[in-house]
Chain A
Amino acid sequence: MSVTTELGPTSVVSGATLAPPARAWGRDFPMIPMAILGIIGFVALFADFLAPHDPQVGSLPDRFLPPFWYAKGSAAHIFGTDHLGRDVLSRLIFGARVSMIVGFTAVIVSGVIGTTLGIISGYLGGWVDQVIMRVTDTWLALPALTFAIFLAAIVGPSEMNIVIILAAVYWTRYARIVRGEVLSLKEREFVRLAIVAGCSKWTIMRRHILPNVINSSIVLGTLMLGIVIITEASLSFLGVGVPPPKPAWGVMLSDGKQGLMVGYWWLTVMPGTAIMLMVLSANLLGDWLRVKLDPQLRQL
């Protein structure tokens, strides 16, 4: 995108993107957020080998054990145990898997749907555009979490359904932004030349439009990752997300409420910290990508 940026007053603002590519990926690369996401991804991938205990089976005599540094704590349960005597660390580790799978799949599915519809809507125009955009506007007006709860109440809780629900709720964000970009892209020379050269509409959309909007979609997707993970955790917390025996972080927080008033803080703080670290990292990565790939989206 930066190739066509003219050396006008705007180039001062988007100066970072005019830098040569070698430097563009260096220097301010967000190492810590990437490392955190990398660790969560690694843990999620090898959960079966890393988790010291079965996340779904507990022993009732060991209920509410505090973390190991307390006198009552045990070295077998570093982060303590929950109300059923299940190991908190193991549940955190397997919870990473749930968050990663649900988060990434939902972002990818909603991104693909939204980008496709945005391109079709923007490029074809006419009644197709009208239909897609009216639906997009209407769905955008529905408050996201309420809409997701409504859908969850209809289809019932399961990991697969959560992905579908999140995709149904969030594709509109991509469609709106991508359509806006396509509207200006289709007036550009290279698209007109492609039309003159006899390319079909589908070829133009796929070969000429898509590569030019994909950056925006990726940036938006990274920024949506945090929102999607929070929504998943909220749904699980409310009992309409990932069904209970499965160790999702939102479910852990919901279970942890039972011990909150008696001061069993680790049941809240541990999964809470995990959610916060993941969302924070995703947001930092998204912010950085936005500046690097797409200065137009800075205002987002």
Chain B
Amino acid sequence: MKQYIVKRIGYSALSLLLLSLTIFLFIRLTGDPTALLTEPGASDEDIAAIQHKFGLDKPIWVQYALFMNSLFHGDLGQSFYYQTSVLELYLSRLPNSLLLAAVAMAFSLLLGIPSGILAAVNVGKFWDSAGKLFALLGLSLPSFLVGLLLILFFSVYLEWLPSSGSGGILHLLMPAFALGWFFAAAHMRLTRSSMLEVMGSEYIKLARLKGLPEFRVITKHAFKNALIPVMTLAGINLINMINVAVVVETVFAWPGIGRLLYEGISFRDFPIVQGVVLIGGSMIVVVNMLIDIVYAMVDPRIRLER
């Protein structure tokens, strides 16, 4: 067990190293890093200071060592526009992103799990087809389009909901729905296949043989076990939501990480873009590792396999 955890942590550390190397090399090898890392219209002294900090005149491995050194000190650079550290900016926007992701997750689970169960219980019948259609629409309607259509309907025609900004619970509804939409389809598909797998197992047959009513079999015995993979996916997706929210947050002017990234591109504020992609990738590597470790603790088959 210990051995597995050590191995898994080492593997993740390697991934993080490769991640930083990827980001670093892309910046250095595709064009002029000085232009990206210094403010547009910066003075000669500022440019010289930046060049010194990243050692842009030194060999590339020295540059990488300097880059990694800054990262280890939590220094992701200064934003040109806000004149503060990127990490600070990121952390100040994170609560908003988490709030949006949490509500979007609630939407996606409330839509996805019941429709998935309904489809699994009625395989090949009407509700299954309806579920398939729903899953297809979820994958095919980009979230920004869903967002724009929601604004058109609920803000412009009905004038029920505010079209942008943050504040009350009403501001949250549309962006959360637009963001949760795609994930609802993914959760529905997994709930369906997971339910089908559980429904075919021996203990469900036994529960039926005992004479339990079908409703009890589904809710008490099948549902609980079918939920495990769905909750795992939901955990990973919560992190994904923070990272893919950029279009939704742009549509609704929601002040989260995605909006920060959008400001980074539109103000040509490169340190922000770099910071968001680095933190986003690292979060996913770490969360994947934690999930693997928890799974190995719970299920010994997993750690023996590798």
Contact = CB atoms under 8 A, between A and B. Distances in A.
A75 to B, nearest CB: 25
Contacts of B148: 253, 256-257, 260, 268, 272
Report the contact-size class of chain A (Cβ under 8 Å from the partner): 35 or more
Contacts of A238: 246-247, 250, 262, 265
A149 B15 contact: no
B134 interface: no
B142 A279 contact: yes
A29 interface: no
A188 interface: no
Contacts of A234: 142, 144, 246-247
B274 A150 contact: yes
Interface in A133-157: 134-135, 137-139, 141-147, 149-155
B140 A141 contact: no
Interface string B197-208: 000000000000
B295 interface: no
B273 interface: yes
B19 A138 contact: yes
A280 B19 contact: no
A154 B266 contact: no
Contacts, number: 141
A210 to B, nearest CB: 28
Given A238-B265, A261-B163, A142 B136 contact: no
A52 to B, nearest CB: 25
A149 B265 contact: yes
B233 to A, nearest CB: 13
A230 B138 CA distance: 12
B14 interface: yes
A58 to B, nearest CB: 22
Chain B interface mostly: helix
A234 B262 CA distance: 12
20 contacts: A134-B18, A142-B22, A142-B284, A145-B246, A145-B247, A146-B281, A149-B277, A150-B274, A153-B36, A153-B273, A154-B26, A154-B30, A154-B36, A234-B144, A237-B247, A239-B265, A253-B145, A256-B148, A262-B156, A272-B145
Interface string B279-291: 0110011001000
Nearest to B16: A138
A280 B141 CA distance: 8
A175 interface: no
A166 to B, nearest CB: 15
B116 interface: no
Residue in B14, B157, B281 with the greatest tally of chain A CB atoms within 10 Å: B281
B226 interface: no
